[in-house]
Amino acid sequence: MKSSHPVPVIAAICVAFASCSKKDIPTYRVAAEEAEEVSVSVGEPASSIDRPLRWKAPEEWVEETPGQLQTALYRVESGGSVSISKFPGDSGGIPANVNRWRKQIGLEPTDEPSGEIIALEAGDSRAMWFELHGSEESILAAIVPVDDATWFFKFTASSSSLDTGRSAFMGLLKSIEIGEKHTPPTPPGISLEVPEGWEKLPASAMRAASFRIPSSSGIDGDVSVIPLPGDAGSDLENVNRWRAQLRLPPLGSDSDPAIGKTEQGDSGEFLLTHMISEEPLFSDKRHGAITTAILRKGGFTWFFKIAGEDETLQTNRDKFDAFVRSAVIP
């Protein structure tokens, strides 16, 4: 997510080898009549869309790859990190969540967690604000209920760094805006030829298709196919967002060769981009890598992405290329 973009946005992490032949590749199909099952609309069915949240993160914060249950993750220049998450319902309620945070920093649970109310830009919305101090780590957090979901904004830092980052985090909270409810269009179905060795995972409200690439290093590759309505940002904006996830500097223009190259697939032209981190991002000095494809078809932008450590992506780069080329979208 770019810090100035609404939620959701498109949403996060090689040296070609011999490609698989078609006869070796099993076919995985998401039929057009099953399109509702692969809807990517704000994580909810089209008939029940929560209002989206928008916020603006400080420019000096570095966007990281969010975890499995996170919507966004930032590394704070002064130290610590800020995570943003969304869960359905009240996600257990305020006491359970506050006590979970207290446990994370070595504090005992409490029966009466106290917080302060913060008014948001939207007149009918409020955030509950908490400040928790541990001996080594501390947490500033806000709980924001929106319709049938709850958003969590959490700044975790060493106790000595918390005050330094307080002002920027409060600025993030004050920048929160809540959009209007809407019913997004339903994406069409998609047919894909999936390379041998990729393990199919359940689709989700955001992902039309999802796969895991097992790795002997213990760092499995993650493959996602995500359709979003409209143009969903320029190629340069999207590539720079992915580069930020690998701690790479942004590109200055879409004429930079690093933005990728245009390829032809069964559903038309797509932009194929490959990037590797300049610094190790995993244990054993392993570098992170991302390969992506952007395909615009039928009023939607389809984002294909494989993320993981560099060695895994190197051995699957040709497979990913064939995977994207095989996509058939009505």
Residue 200 and residue 102 in one domain: no
Backbone angles phi, psi at 56, to 5 degrees: -125, 115
Q: For residues 229 and 195, what is the distance between their CA atoms, to the nearest angstrom?
A: 27
Residue 9 lies in a domain: no
Instruction: Indicate the pLDDT class of residue 18, thresholds 50, 70 and 90.
Output: very low
Predicted local confidence at residue 32, as pLDDT: 35
Report how far Cα 213 is from the mean position of its chain's Cα atoms. 18
Residue 218 and residue 89 in one domain: no
Residue 31 and residue 133 in one domain: no
Asked if pLDDT for residue 4 goes beyond 60, the answer is no
In which domain, by residue range, is 198 found?
22-46+184-325
Predicted local confidence at residue 177, as pLDDT: 83
Residue where a domain stops, chosen among 178, 195, 220: 178
Residue 37 and residue 65 in one domain: no
The whole-number average pLDDT for the span 20-32 is: 36
Instruction: Indicate the pLDDT class of residue 199, thresholds 50, 70 and 90.
Output: very high
Residue 2 lies in a domain: no
Nearest to 207 by CA among 18, 10, 5: 10
Predicted local confidence at residue 69, as pLDDT: 80
Asked if pLDDT for residue 34 goes beyond 90, the answer is no
**What are the tokens at 230?**
């409209």
Query: How many independent structural domains does the chain possess?
Result: 2
Q: For residues 8 and 42, what is the distance between their CA atoms, to the nearest angstrom?
A: 6
Q: Is the bond into 88 cis (omega within 30 degrees of 0)?
A: no
What's the CATH number where 199 sits?
Answer: 3.40.1000.10
Residue 169 and residue 209 in one domain: no
Number of CB atoms found within 10 A of residue 293's CB:
23
The whole-number average pLDDT for the span 50-63 is: 86
Instruction: Indicate the pLDDT class of residue 119, thresholds 50, 70 and 90.
Output: low
Predicted local confidence at residue 204, as pLDDT: 79
Instruction: Indicate the pLDDT class of residue 306, thresholds 50, 70 and 90.
Output: very high
The whole-number average pLDDT for the span 223-235 is: 89
Residue 288 lies in a domain: yes
Asked if pLDDT for residue 83 goes beyond 50, the answer is yes
Predicted local confidence at residue 288, as pLDDT: 92
DSSP character string of 291-322: EEEEEEETTEEEEEEEEEEHHHHHHHHHHHHH
Going from the C-alpha of 299 to that of each of 39, 57, 113, 325, the distances in angstroms are 14, 29, 47, 19
Residue 5 lies in a domain: no
**What are the tokens at 10?**
């498109």
Asked if pLDDT for residue 148 goes beyond 90, the answer is no
Asked if pLDDT for residue 38 goes beyond 60, the answer is no
Backbone angles phi, psi at 323, to 5 degrees: -60, -50
**What are the tokens at 106?**
């070595």
Residue where a domain stops, chosen among 151, 178, 205: 178
Q: For residues 308 and 281, what is the distance between their CA atoms, to the nearest angstrom?
A: 10
Residues 6+ apart with CB under 8 A from 50: 42, 44, 146, 147, 148, 149, 181
Residue 57 and residue 171 in one domain: yes
Straight-line distance from the first to the last Cα atom of the chain, in angstroms, rounded to the nearest whole number: 28
Asked if pLDDT for residue 321 goes beyond 90, the answer is yes
Residue 212 and residue 150 in one domain: no
Q: State the number of CA atoms in the 13 A half-sphere of 41 facing the CB.
A: 20
Residue 222 and residue 121 in one domain: no
Does residue 238 contact residue 303 with C-beta atoms inside 8 Å?
Answer: yes
Residue 63 lies in a domain: yes
Residue 38 and residue 81 in one domain: no
Residue 106 and residue 140 in one domain: yes
Residue 15 lies in a domain: no
Q: Which residue has the higher pLDDT, 307 or 53?
A: 307
Predicted local confidence at residue 242, as pLDDT: 92
Residue 68 and residue 169 in one domain: yes
Residue 11 lies in a domain: no
Residue 279 and residue 162 in one domain: no
Q: For residues 226 and 287, what is the distance between their CA atoms, to the nearest angstrom?
A: 25
Does residue 28 contact residue 34 with C-beta atoms inside 8 Å?
Answer: no
Residue where a domain stops, chosen among 117, 152, 178: 178
Predicted local confidence at residue 302, as pLDDT: 94
Residue 16 lies in a domain: no
